[in-house]
Chain A
Amino acid sequence: MSGGGPPRKRNFKIDVFKHRVELDPKYAERTWKVLEHAIHEIYNHNASGLSFEELYRSAYNMVLHKYGEKLYDGLESTMTWRLKEISRSIEAAQGGLFLEELNTKWMEHNKALQMIRDILMYMDRTYVPQSRRTPVHELGLNLWRDHIIHSAMIHSRLLDTLLDLIHRERMGEMINRGLMRSITKMLMDLGAAVYQDDFETPFLEVSASFYSGESQEFIECCDCGDYLKKSERRLNEEMERVSHYLDAATEAKITSVVEKEMIANHMHRLVHMENSGLVNMLIDDKYDDLARMYNLFRRVSDGLSSIRDVMTSYLRETGKQLVTDPERLKDPVEFVQRLLNEKDKHDKIINVAFGNDKTFQNALNSSFEYFINLNTRSPEFISLYVDDKLRKGLKGAAEEDVEVILDKVMMLFRYLQEKDVFEKYYKQHLAKRLLSGKTVSDDAERSMIVKLKTECGYQFTSKLEGMFTDMKTSQDTMIDFYAKKSEELGDGPTLDVHILTTGSWPTQPCPPCNLPHEILTICDKFRSYYLGTHNGRRLTWQTNMGTADIKATFGKSQKHELNVSTYQMCVLMLFNSTDGLTYKDIEQYTEIPALDLKRCLQSLACVKGKNVLRKEPMSKDISEDDTFYFNDKFTSKLVKVKIGTVVAQKESEPEKQETRQRVEEDRKPQIEAAIVRIMKSRRVLDHNSIVAEVTKQLQARFLPNPVVIKKRIESLIEREFLERDKADRKLYRYLA
């Protein structure tokens, strides 16, 4: 109680107090008897007759008069006596009643203990801390532990009963979970050590041997998916068990037992299981099974990495087959589509089943990077795929769909090591698309360029963009040409010229063929017009790239409009003056390069439905002894006939070699530039470091070959950009 005034009458009051309580020698004994009786009554559920105040006062006075020890010892021995009694009654309980009895008695003891503690509270408050004895409540629990739980007759019987019940529950029986909960709660109340030593540790051991046996049995007779389902169910059961009647801290321990026995110990076998392991799940898109495997394996160490490793090697293996199968190489579009499908499939698996795990995404990416580059034609094929899509594949597709497809292509592009090879092919294919007017959507083309630009920088796409600019200026030039010169031209053929900047376009110098007279006239007019407005330029005709629309009249005077290439036009125009020509004649008149001429004649004479020429002898291939005639009997349902224009197609072997060579040529200055850049800043560097640095700088575009780098260094030394160090021949010095 707080407050107060000066304690003036203190001495007087103490006197009064001493008088009131006389110290009868039998006082303590008598008071204790009262309390002892009360304790027994409490255990006998007979407390209603007792006065709390009286008992409290008795205990209070005993402690106050230094009989605390007697009180405490009396309590301890009385309680011990009661507990021995209780222990006998629990031991006597038969079979299933054992736990019930134990639980009932525990509840009773708890309640009694609380009542006793309440009436002895004064002792608990003063005597116990002063003489460092165990507080009443704890004393009661300790006595229970020592005389009940640790009694020889109860100890092992309790453990066996609990483990047996859990085993029965595992085998599918219903057990009294409430009772289990009470008993385990009791063990926890008696202290963490009691719960762990007398229950948890043996429980975990028994569980380990149970699951070790069960998993052995399952793995022999189940396929991987079933096994995982069973493991998952077991795991959930154990977690549920913990939540129902075990200590929450047991959860981590028991789950780790299940994880070890059911998963970690069989991990390897599960992943590689024949006909149902990881690879089969991947092939069959078993999202549920895969997700289950992921979730279970992530619980054990090395679990995910073992999934990842198997997935990676599977991806690499199938990818390798995909890109090296000669059958697949026949159709580039199909080839790329397959790659995309494969990527989509596994993206979805990682997304749906593997929780978008970054490490799996990385594994997927590295696998693709690995196998795409196994085939040196991948850059060409990817470009062909884009070409196909931009020519016709995207016709009618919504803008977003176009974006999706282009984004996917960019993803494949990122995997490429030889990005410069892709650029080379892309340029060729783009040029053909632009010149033949075959692009479906200008927006899509530009969107692709923008994507390449963001990926590889301005340098990569500047030439591609130059091509678009050329197209635009050509259009303006043609409008201007016709506006100014239309009266001069009269009724001759219409000419449409694309003026291509040398360097921006993948043009190769090619000897112009002999154009028909009519065309030549207007070409010359255009040349003089163009050179008149643009001083100092040089125009050369790329006759291998143009197209022409010509009108032809056939036997029964049916008219057709033929859409042909420039070469084909030249050939056809020859037949205006004669009906039959030998191969040699045609070659001589037109001066078209042999390979192109054969291809062009083939498409004019050998394609069914488009054979405006007739060939003798009839065969599929063109030989130099063939003779060609104008095919009077040509018919077609269409007024406009498109004769096989040269579409971008897979390159033939020699063309491929040629492109390859050009790529190698283009790389040389890039490598040299990189070397000079590096040496300029470093001044002195050894050979290996240069190679490493150059590789690092250029790998965004291609992987330079160390041998080539060495040659470039030698060339730079020759041209006195670098010199070898005089003392150490391995070092190079930069010469300013």
Chain B
Amino acid sequence: MLGKGEAAGQAHLHKDDDGGEQPSGVVKLISAEGFEFVVDKKAAMVSNTLRNMLTSPGGFSETREGEVRFPEISTPILEKICQYFYWSLHYSSGKETSEFQIEPEITLELMMAANYLDT
């Protein structure tokens, strides 16, 4: 059973079709396999690592280009992470909660990524 958070997340997930032009409010996250996830900056900033990356002064290439490559994170994990961003944005501060479903097979890998992203 999937929570509401996932449904909301899916609506924003696109694959590979965005081309060059990007609204300033979104950022492209690219998995090890080259899959691109376009998410709202607001959602991406659930991760402290991404937050620093996007707000650090002095213009690193990520800030300039609006995309971040993760050579060590696989597509399914990154997808799950993106879902989590939206879930967190939606529920973490609110009163109502719903459980965030995690498939047992990816638990460890997901935890590693979470540590990396400081989420």
Spell out A's residues near B (CB within 8 Å).
Answer: 1-10, 13-14, 17, 42, 45, 47-53, 56-57, 60, 111-112, 114-115, 118-119, 121-122, 125
Contact = CB atoms under 8 A, between A and B. Distances in A.
Contacts of A4: 102, 104, 107, 110-111
Q: Which 10 A-B pairs have the closest CB atoms?
A: A1-B114, A5-B104, A52-B60, A13-B108, A118-B52, A118-B56, A3-B100, A52-B53, A47-B58, A3-B102
A5 B103 contact: yes
A3 B49 contact: no
Contacts of B61: 48-52
Interface in B48-102: 48-49, 52-53, 56-64, 68-72, 81, 84, 99-102
Contacts of B62: 51-53
Contact of A47 (B60, B81, B101, B108): B60
Interface residues of B, number: 38
A52 B56 contact: yes
A17 B108 CA distance: 10
A60 B109 CA distance: 16
Given A9-B107, A115-B60, 6 more contacts: A4-B104, A5-B103, A47-B60, A53-B70, A118-B56, A122-B118
Contacts of B60: 47-48, 50-52, 115
B112 interface: yes
B53 A114 contact: no
A7 B68 contact: no
Given A52-B62, A53-B70, A10 B56 contact: no
Contacts of A13: 108-109
A180 to B, nearest CB: 24
B64 A111 contact: no
Classify the secondary structure of A's interface with B.
helix
A45 B57 CA distance: 11
Given A1-B84, A48-B61, A115-B58, A121 B104 contact: no
A352 B100 CA distance: 71
Contact of A121 (B100, B102, B118): B118
17 contacts: A1-B110, A1-B119, A4-B102, A5-B102, A6-B104, A7-B104, A9-B105, A13-B109, A17-B112, A47-B59, A48-B60, A51-B62, A52-B56, A111-B57, A115-B56, A115-B60, A125-B118
Contact of A8 (B69, B84, B100, B104): B104
Contacts of A6: 104
A121 B99 contact: no
A119 B49 CA distance: 9
Contacts of A52: 52-53, 56, 60-63, 68
B77 to A, nearest CB: 11
A9 B56 contact: no
B48 A114 contact: no
Contacts of B59: 47-48
Given A4-B102, A50-B60, A121 B112 contact: no
